[in-house]
Structure 1
């Protein structure tokens, strides 16, 4: 297992993880019609845009095992002016087959180190209320700081904001 900075060469592997993890994690939470419309091609286009516009404030890491990308983390400057946190974890996803094996914790810790190197002092994230990973974030020290209703496909869902005051 290896954690390293992501590059444009990783777009296809990251897109695959993104689509597969959404389908496994959000099955029964997000509508089947929405999940069935997620495609590798669309997600690859989204990741290309992200890499084309990557700033020095952002960090993207992948975790590889046996030569394949098994997960990733992406974050940077907070996009949430309503909260007093200077950084944000935008996304962290792992393939179901490697979840609960320590990969998520290692990616999370690597992300925090990247934030420290960029002189961030705190960070937050949004997680769907029914996401089974909610407990993971709480175990890592995340504290409830707010919630909002969002629309994903035909579903209205609750997203919970968790924050880390000091990193």
Structure 2
């Protein structure tokens, strides 16, 4: 298994991982109605737009298993939030359920951190649902909860945590 920078040709496989990982990660957190409405086709449109509009410091990485199947991804770049002093942001990191707890998440995380550092960023943050089991993963990587907000996904009102690293 290895990590590489993604390209637009990966968009459909990333979209599939995105949808499948949302359905497994957020089961019991986000309504089943909303999760069942997710589609690879809709997510693919979003990923194609993302690839076509990448800013210079934004990166997307994929995790592949030995046969070359994409089993996870991460993305990050300039912080989209002015509320905190962190100049970099981990936008997303997802792995298929069968590939979690094998070290790939840490490798995807480290790829974004390295990319942000190489681009001159000094601090990083991310948003994660409070009930997402990955909150503990981020804390183990040295992240601290720096804020929270209420968001709505479908008909669910949820708490999202801001986690930050003052130095990467």
Band the TM-score falls in, shorter-chain normalisation: over 0.9
Unmatched tracts of structure 2, length 5 or more: none
- CA deviation after TM superposition for structure 1 residue 111, in Å: 1.0
- CA deviation after TM superposition for structure 1 residue 76, in Å: 0.3
What is the aligned residue count? 167
1:116 and 2:117 equivalent?
yes
- CA deviation after TM superposition for structure 1 residue 50, in Å: 0.4
Question: Quick one: distance in 1 between partners of 2:28 and 2:111?
Answer: 31
Give runs of aligned pairs for residues 1-167 of structure 1, distance below 5 A.
Answer: 1-65=1-65, 66-167=67-168
- CA deviation after TM superposition for structure 1 residue 135, in Å: 0.4
Question: Quick one: distance in 2 between partners of 1:74 and 1:45?
Answer: 16
Question: What are the superposed Cα offsets for residues 20-73 of structure 1, whole Å, 9 maximum, x if unpaired?
Answer: 000000000001110000001000000001011001110110010021001000
- CA deviation after TM superposition for structure 1 residue 2, in Å: 1.6
Describe the SS at the equivalent of 2:75.
strand
Question: What are the superposed Cα offsets for residues 108-138 of structure 1, whole Å, 9 maximum, x if unpaired?
Answer: 1111111111010000000000001110000
Describe the SS at the equivalent of 2:64.
strand
Question: Quick one: distance in 2 between partners of 1:61 and 1:140?
Answer: 18
Could you list the structure 1 runs, at least 4 aligned residues long, displaced by more than 4 angstroms after superposition: none
Describe the SS at the equivalent of 1:54.
coil
Question: Quick one: distance in 1 between partners of 2:113 and 2:95?
Answer: 17
Question: Quick one: distance in 2 between partners of 1:142 and 1:57?
Answer: 22
Question: Quick one: distance in 2 between partners of 1:83 and 1:50?
Answer: 24
Across the aligned residues of Structure 1 and Structure 2, the Cα RMSD in angstroms comes to 0.5
- CA deviation after TM superposition for structure 1 residue 149, in Å: 0.1
TM-score under structure 2 normalisation?
0.98
Question: Quick one: distance in 2 between partners of 1:14 and 1:133?
Answer: 19
Unmatched tracts of structure 1, length 5 or more: none
